[in-house]
Amino acid sequence: MEDLTNIPQFTLELFGINLVFNTHTLIMTWIVMLSLILFGFLATRKISFIPNPFQVVAELFVQVFYDLTKDALDEKMVKKYFPLICSLFMFLLLSNWLGILPKLSEPTKDLNTTLGLGVMGFFIAHHAGIKKKGFKVYAKGYFEPIFFMAPLNIIGELAKVVSISFRLYGNILGGAIIILVVSHLIYSLILPPFLICFFSLFIGTIQAFVFTMLTLVYISVQVK
Amino acid sequence: MLSDIATITNLASYAGAGVCIGLGAIGAALGEGYTAGLANQAISQKRERSGDIIKNMLVGQAIAETAAIFALVVAVLLLFVKMPSDSLLKAAALFGAGICMGFGAIGSGVGSGFPGGEACMGIARQPVMSGRLTTNMLIGSAVCQTPAIFSMVVGLMLMFMDFSKMPLYPTWAALIGAGVSTGLAAIGSGYGGGKAAGASCEGIARQPESLAQVTTTMLVGQAVSQTPAIFGLLVSFILMFKSFPESAALNSSMALLGAGICMGFGGVGPGIGNGLTAESAVKWVARNLKATGELTRTMLVGQAVSQSTAIYAMVISLVLIFVV
Tell me the one-letter amino acid at A209: F
pLDDT the model gives residue A3: 57
- Checking if the pLDDT of A8 tops 80, the result is no
- As a whole number of angstroms, the distance between CA B285 and CA B295 comes to 7
Percent of chain B with pLDDT over 70: 99
For residue A20, report the phi and psi dihedrals to the nearest 5 degrees.
-105, 130
Q: Is it the case that residue B219 has pLDDT exceeding 80?
A: yes
Region of poorest pLDDT, from A47-61, A62-76, A181-195, B137-151: A181-195
Check: complex ipTM more than 0.85 = no
A176-190, B129-143, B285-299, B304-318: range with lowest mean pLDDT: A176-190
pLDDT at A49 over 60: yes
* Chain B environment of A152 (Cβ under 8 Å): 308, 311-312
* Residues on chain B touching A162 (C-beta within 8 angstroms): 230-231, 234
User: Which residue type, as a one-letter code, is found at position A105?
Assistant: S
Q: Is the pLDDT of residue A1 over 70?
A: no
What pLDDT, on a 0 to 100 scale, did the predictor assign at position B3? 64
pLDDT digit string, tens, across residues B169-207:
888 999 999 999 999 999 999 999 999 999 999 999 999
Does A155 contact B at CB distance below 8 Å? yes
| pLDDT score of A192 | 84
Start-end of H helices in chain B: 5-45, 50-64, 66-80, 88-111, 113-125, 130-144, 146-160, 168-206, 211-225, 227-241, 250-287, 292-306, 308-322
In whole angstroms, what is the distance from residue B243 CA to residue B163 CA?
10
Model confidence at A82, pLDDT cuts 50, 70, 90, reads very high
Domains of chain B: 9-322 (1.20.120.610)
Tell whether the model's pLDDT for residue A30 goes beyond 90: yes
> B-chain residues within 8 Å CB-CB of A159?
227, 231, 307, 311, 314
The number of residues in chain B equals 324
Residue of B nearest to A179 (CA): B153
Average pLDDT for chain B: 91
Nearest residue in A to B295, CA atom: A72
User: Would you say residue A2 has pLDDT above 60?
Assistant: no
How confident is the model at residue B160, as a pLDDT? 85
- Segment B49-53 shows an average pLDDT of 89
How much is the pLDDT for B154? 92
Inform me whether the pLDDT recorded for B324 exceeds 80. Answer: no
Report the candidate in A195, A200, A173, A47 with the shortest Cα–Cα distance to residue A115. A173
Checking if the pLDDT of A196 tops 70, the result is yes
pLDDT reported for residue A7: 66
DSSP string, B66-105: HHHHHHHHHHHHHHHSPPP-SSHHHHHHHHHHHHHHHHHH
Instruction: Report which of A168, A164, A167, A166 is spatially closest to residue A218, judged by C-alpha positions.
Output: A164
Give me the phi and psi of B116, to 5 degrees please. Answer: -60, -50
Taking CB atoms and an 8 Å cutoff, what residues of chain B touch A167? Answer: 146, 223, 226-227, 230
Interface of B with A (CB under 8 A): 73, 77, 139, 142-143, 146, 149-150, 152-153, 156-157, 160-162, 213, 216, 219-220, 223-224, 226-227, 230-231, 233-234, 292-293, 296-297, 300-301, 304, 307-308, 311-312, 314-315
Query: Per-residue pLDDT averaged across B22-34, rounded?
Result: 94
Q: How far apart are CA A72 and CA B217, in angstroms?
A: 11
- Calculate mean pLDDT across residues B216-236: 92
pLDDT above 90 (res B36) = yes
Query: pLDDT per residue over A102-142, tens digit each?
Result: 888 889 988 899 999 999 999 999 999 999 888 888 888 88
- Residue B2, pLDDT score: 53
Q: How confident is the model at residue B234 (pLDDT cuts 50, 70, 90)?
A: very high
Q: Is B151 helix (H, G, I), strand (E, B) or coil?
A: helix
User: Which pLDDT score is estimated for B104?
Assistant: 94
Distance from CA of B305 to the nearest CA of A (A): 9
pLDDT tens-digit profile of B259-301?
Answer: 999 999 999 999 999 999 999 999 999 999 888 888 988 898 8
Smallest Cα distance from B220 to chain A, Å: 6
Q: Residue B230 and residue A203: Cβ atoms within 8 Å?
A: no
Q: Kindly tell me if the per-residue pLDDT of A4 is higher than 70.
A: no
Of all residues in chain A, the percent with pLDDT exceeding 90 is 35
Instruction: Look over chain A and give the mean of its residue pLDDT values, rounded to a whole number.
Output: 86
Q: What is the pLDDT of residues B136-157, one digit of tens each?
A: 999 999 899 999 999 998 999 8
User: Residue A156: what pLDDT?
Assistant: 83
Question: If you compute the radius of gyration of chain B from its CA atoms, what whole number of angstroms results?
Answer: 21
pLDDT at B187: 94
